[in-house]
Amino acid sequence: MQVRGIRGAITIDEDNKSQVLDATQELLTAMQAANGFLPEDIASVLFTVTPDVRSAFPAEAARLMGWEQVPLLCFQEIEVPGALPRCIRVLIHINTDKPQESIKHIYLGQARSLRPDLSD
């Protein structure tokens, strides 16, 4: 079994706790549905937020989804001029037998502009 990374990102309209939690849950749910993993398949999850997102930890959304035993960690993105604002990014490491080319990365909202080659 391999450890594979699944990338995803989503944007919020304004920085408030409910938008951070709702958007993060939307993203995680879409990533889980697209890749068919269970919480027990997850090795770890890394979240980043742009400097303008300060109202909540995205990891809280995963805990609310029942990801109680999953190691979660949040970071702040570096501040790059012209970067996409109010963006939540995630990297999920899963244990899987799927080959790399079968992994589906998910970009929602304005975050589709980050990886148009991977967005539907």
Q: pLDDT at residue 119 above 70? A: no
Model confidence pTM above 0.75? yes
Of residues 4, 86, 87, 89, which has the active-site annotation? 89
Asked if the structure places residue 119 within a domain, the reply is no
Q: What is the pLDDT of residue 75?
A: 97
pLDDT of residue 106 exceeding 90, the answer is yes
Q: Where in the sequence is the domain holding 46, given as residue range(s)?
A: 2-114
> Does the residue 120 lie in any domain?
no
In a domain? residue 40: yes
In a domain, 53, yes or no: yes
Q: Is residue 61 part of a domain?
A: yes
34-55: pLDDT as tens digits:
999 999 999 999 999 999 999 9
The number of folded domains in the chain is 1
Q: Indicate if 112 belongs to the active site.
A: no
Per-residue pLDDT tens digits for 50-96: 999 999 999 999 999 999 999 999 999 999 999 999 999 999 999 99
pLDDT by residue (tens digit) across 7-39? 999 999 999 999 999 999 999 999 999 999 999
Residue 118's pLDDT is: 78
**Pairing of the two strands 42-49 and 2-11:** unpaired
Q: Specify if 29 maps to a domain.
A: yes
54 assigned to active site: no
Q: Flag whether 21 is in a domain.
A: yes
Concerning whether 74 is annotated as a catalytic residue, the answer is yes
> The domain that contains 8 carries what CATH number?
3.30.1330.40
